[in-house]
Amino acid sequence: MSVLRGKKILLGISGGIAAYKTASLVRLFIKAGAQVKVIMTPASKDFITPLTLSTLSKNPVHSSFFDEEDKNAVWNNHVELALWADIFIIAPATANTMSKMVSGNADNLLLATYLSAKCQVYFAPAMDLDMYKHTSTLDNFKKLQSFGNIMIPAESGELASGLSGEGRMAEPENIVAFIEQDLLAKLPLKGKKILVTAGPTYEAIDPVRFIGNHSSGKMGYDIALAAAVQGAEVTLVSGPTHLKLEHELVNIIRVTSAEEMYNACNACFDDMDVVVAAAAVADYKPKVVAEQKIKKSDTEFAIALEKTKDILSSLGERKTKQFLVGFALETENEIENAKLKIRKKNLDLIVLNSLNDEGAGFGKATNKVTFIDSSFVAEPMDLKTKEEVAADIVNKIKIRYNV
């Protein structure tokens, strides 16, 4: 999953031969999960058709303040377009367009929208090598960057003139990669390593049967995704679940038993900044696992159980710099039991769930939690979706690191 997923991208195309590459650029943005709208200068339509870009972006393409062929003459509102965008990229940015961007000339829809933009603006220059190195062009690069715009440098290669050198617009793949890396570098949890556990554990009785619980793993997966979206490098140790998560910052380690989860968590713990233990780990496991399927015979059947290793306690004992977050699912004396767990397991924060609350518990799309910190300050929350609860937990992590 790309950091561009869900972003609203406004692509401004000016009149250079490199405009033909914008078809691929739009496709890549869409593939990354972004929404795309396109503004063209009138000159750019000589190099690529609005129909092509409209088809790829699945949005109307605008190139003038109003559509002359429209008898109703609806105004294309440049302010609304500018405010819609999370990201505005001008590619190709010709010498002519950049000069007007510097001077504040708004003689077309693209430039008027640029002057109205409040989001981050990127520009990808494209021109012949002599134009690219001209003093006026170099000055415009500096001025545009001084305005807060981010330049995506041109590349070297064969140019439309037949010459070879600097001035070729960055390839669409490189433009997307540049923007992704720039966005990642600015995310609040960039550089933080977070371990998240999720799902149930299955403790084998024999090759066929196991002891487990009803945890779907959704809460842990939502936390992992919410942390990755904020730039954290996430290690997700997941018990058996049907859930999937594809994000370039999430590494999933799949386990089955409590023992396997214990080993996986302790193996990577020292490198972590934060641990969120959202898994519903079995407290007991069969003392002896039958090598063959147990046949049904007697009317009663007893299994001797022994405690599993306490993952959270083991991490609490080893804790140095880590911010340790645990979960508590209680049915009685909720607050008291949660506070006891904080002390016993050396936690910094606990997320308390009560099965007595409507809409909370296993297999639900919602959750109702109370945050309790190591000073025993309780913060009850309203019933929310698990995605919203995950965002609240990640916000607690951001507060911990003052970001």
Low-confidence stretches of the chain (pLDDT beneath 50): none
CATH value at residue 207: 3.40.50.10300
- Same domain? For 269 and 396 the reply is yes
What are the pLDDT digits (tens) for 182-215?
999 999 999 999 999 999 999 999 999 999 998 9
* Torsion angle defined by CA atoms of residues 217, 223, 227 and 232, in that order, rounded to the nearest 10 degrees: -40
- The residues, any chain, with a CB within 8 Å of residue 45's CB and separated by 6 or more, are 63
Q: Does 160 lie in the same domain as 24?
A: yes
How confident is the model over 364-401, as pLDDT tens digits? 778 889 999 999 999 999 999 999 999 999 999 999 99
Q: Is residue 20 included in any domain, yes or no?
A: yes
pLDDT of amino acid 305: 95
The answer as to whether 246 is a domain residue is: yes
Residue where a domain terminates, one of 144, 169, 185: 185
Domain count, the chain: 2
Nearest to 275 by CA among 286, 264, 288, 287: 264
DSSP one-letter code for 323: E
Domain of residue 120, CATH code: 3.40.50.1950
Note the pLDDT of residue 364. 74
Q: Is residue 120 part of a domain?
A: yes
Residue 201 and residue 115 share a domain: no
Residues 237 and 145 in one domain: no
pLDDT recorded at residue 196: 98
> Which amino acid belongs to residue 101?
M
Domain interval for residue 211: 193-400
Residue 354 confidence (pLDDT): 73
Closest residue by Cα to residue 78 from 103, 51, 48, 109:
109
Beta partners for residue 122, in sequence order: 89, 150
318 alpha-carbon distance from chain centroid: 30
Query: What are the phi and psi torsion angles at 244 (to 5°)?
Result: -130, 150
Which residue numbers are catalytic? 213
Does 299 map to a domain? yes
Task: Please indicate, yes or no, whether residues 176 and 71 belong to a single structural domain of this protein.
Answer: yes
pLDDT computed for residue 70 by the predictor: 54
200 with 97, same domain?
no
SS3 call for 55? helix
Question: What percent of the chain stands above pLDDT 90?
Answer: 80
124, 158, 185 - which closes a domain: 185
Cα 109 versus chain centre, distance: 32
> Are 178 and 248 contained in the same domain?
no
Query: Over the Cα atoms of the chain, what is R_g?
Result: 28
Query: Is the separation of the CB atoms in 84 and 131 below 8 Å?
Result: no
Are 263 and 293 in a shared domain?
yes
Task: Indicate if 44 and 180 belong to the same structural domain.
Answer: yes
Residue 375 neighbours by CB under 8 Å, 6+ apart: none
Whole-number pLDDT of residue 361: 62
pLDDT at 255: 98
**108 lies in the same domain as 205:** no
Considering the domain architecture, whether residues 270 and 152 belong to the same structural domain is answered as no
